Amino acid sequence: MFPMTPAPGFSQEGVRATPDASDLQSVLESLELYRGHYERLSRAVEQTADAVVITDRQSRIEYVNPAFEATSGYTAQEVLGRKPSLLQSGHHDKQFYEELWSKLEAGEPWRGTIVNRKKSGELYWSEQTITPMKDDAGRTTHFVSVLKDITEQRKLREQEFYLQLASEVQQHLYRGADSAAGFDTAGVTRPAHLTGGDYFDTIVQPDGRVTVAIGDVSGHGVGSALVMAATRAYVRAFTKSEADAGALLRNLNGALTADLDGGRYVTLLLIQVDPRTRSIEYAGAGHLPGYLLRGEGEVDLVMGSTGPPLGLLADAEFSKCGPIPYRDGDAIVLFTDGVTEAENVEGQEFGAERALDIVRSRRQSSARELVEGLAETVRAFCGEKRQRDDITALVCKLGPPA
C-alpha cells in the first residue's frame, strides 16, 4: 500500500486532530483555487459568442448565457423551466430528432447542423453540440448544448455557389460565339468579378450573313450578367427577322427600355458582314468605336455610334452605316472600355491605340491568339492595380467568301 497523506486537521489514523494554522491556510488556499477556477469558467460561459444552454435530465432549461438571448431573441426569464423544443423550426422530421436522442441516451455527444426558429419567427442555422453531463456513478444528470449561429456564413456560401453557377452559364453563352464559315472569329472576356456585364457574339444567318456584336451593361455583378443574357437573347431573336442593323437596334431598344429601370443601360455595336457582296454595315448604340484594319495593319474605318445607349430613351432612333467594302486579310477589332480605360499603378490608361498596336504586331496570329494576347497584355499593364471593369475583346479576320 502507498502511504496516504492525511487531510488537513486529521491524524494518520483518521482521528480528528486539532487543526493548526498551516492546516487552515491550506484549506483556504484550496477554496480560493476552486473559487478562481469557478469564476473563470463562469466568465467564459457568460462571455462566449456561442449560445450555451444547460438543461436537466428531463430537458427543462436551467441556464442560458447572454449569447443565447442575443441569438434567439428570448430572455432567460422566458425560457427557464421550458424545453428547447420551443426553438424547433419544423425544418427537421421526426427521424432527425429520434437519431439525436438515440445518441444522447447512449451517453454520447451529438454534433450537427440544425435549423432553429427565433422568437421573431425568423429561421437561423446553427452548428450545435449537445453533450450529456454525468455524475460520479456515470448517470446523466444534465445536457449542455453549445450553438454557433452560421446563418450568415451559410448565406455567403450559397451566394458564392449561385455566383459560380451564373459564371459557368455565362461562360457557356460566350462559347456560343462560333467562327463563321470563311472567317476566323474569336472573343474573350475577363470579368472584374465572378460574373460580368460585357457581351460579345457572332451570329450566322441562313443566307450567309454574319452579325458580329459587342456590348457592355452598366454596373457589375449578377444584375448586369442577367441583363447581358437578356440582351444576347434579344439580339439573336431579332437578327432572324431584321436585316437592317439600325432597325434591329431600334427593336432592341424598345424591348430593353421596357425591361430596365434604375438608370441601367446597355451600349452595343452591331456589325453585319455579307460575304456575298464582300461588304459590311454597322450601327452603334453608345458603344466604343470598332475598327476595320487592313491587312497591313492601318485603320481603314472607325465604326462609331449612330444612336444613344439602349434602355434610356424609348423613342430613340438608330441609323445604319454602309455598305462598306472589305478585302481578304482585313480584320474587325472590337473591345469594351475595360480595355481602353484599364489603368496601371501610375494612373495611365491602356488606351485604344495601344490595343490596336497589339493586334497589328500579331496580325499573323489566329483570332483566338490575338484576343487572348490582348487580354493578358491589358492585365499585365495593370500590374498590381485592381481590375475595375470587365476586359472584353473580339476579332473577326475576314477571308474569301465560303
Q: What is the pLDDT of residue 385?
A: 86
Q: How far is CA 313 from CA 88, 258, 302, 309, 393, in A?
A: 53, 10, 25, 8, 27
From the list 172, 167, 88, the residue with the least C-alpha distance to 124 is: 88
Higher-confidence residue of 212 and 222: namely: 212
Q: What is the pLDDT of residues 193-207, one digit of tens each?
A: 666 778 899 888 888
- If pLDDT is split at 50, 70 and 90, which confidence band does 2 have? very low
Q: Is the pLDDT at 297 greater than 50, yes or no?
A: yes
3-state class of 125 per DSSP?
Answer: strand
Q: Is the pLDDT at 254 greater than 50, yes or no?
A: yes
* Residues sharing a CB contact under 8 Å with residue 36, sequence separation 6 or more, in sequence order: none
Q: What is the pLDDT of residue 69?
A: 93
Average pLDDT over residues 286-299: 93
Q: Is the pLDDT at 395 greater than 50, yes or no?
A: yes
Contact 217, 264 (CB under 8 A): yes
Phi–psi pair at 319, nearest 5 degrees: -100, 160
Q: Helix 151-175 to helix 222-238 angle, to the nearest 10 degrees?
A: 30
Q: What is the pLDDT of residue 46?
A: 81
- If pLDDT is split at 50, 70 and 90, which confidence band does 399 have? confident
50-149 has which CATH code?
3.30.450.20
Contact 349, 317 (CB under 8 A): no
Q: What is the pLDDT of residue 3?
A: 42
The structural domains of the chain, with segments of one domain joined by +, span 20-48, 50-149, 174-398
C-alpha cell read off for 22: 498551516
Average pLDDT over residues 256-285: 91
Q: What is the pLDDT of residues 39-59, one digit of tens each?
A: 776 777 787 889 999 999 999
pTM of model > 0.75: no
Q: Is the pLDDT at 234 greater than 80, yes or no?
A: yes
Q: What is the pLDDT of residue 10?
A: 45
Counting runs of H as helices and runs of E as strands, what totals does the chain give? 10, 15
CATH assignment of 174-398, among 3.40.1010.10, 3.60.40.10, 3.40.50.970, 1.10.3720.10: 3.60.40.10
**Amino acid identity, residue 142?**
H
3-state class of 44 per DSSP?
Answer: helix
Q: What is the pLDDT of residue 19?
A: 55
Q: What is the pLDDT of residues 213-229, one digit of tens each?
A: 999 988 777 777 788 88
Q: What is the pLDDT of residue 166?
A: 61
Alpha carbons 172 and 176: distance in angstroms, whole number: 7
Q: What is the pLDDT of residue 121?
A: 92
Q: What percent of the chain has pLDDT over 90?
A: 56
Alpha carbons 377 and 373: distance in angstroms, whole number: 6
* Mean model confidence pLDDT for the chain: 84
Lowest model confidence (mean pLDDT) among 274-288, 304-318, 382-396: 382-396
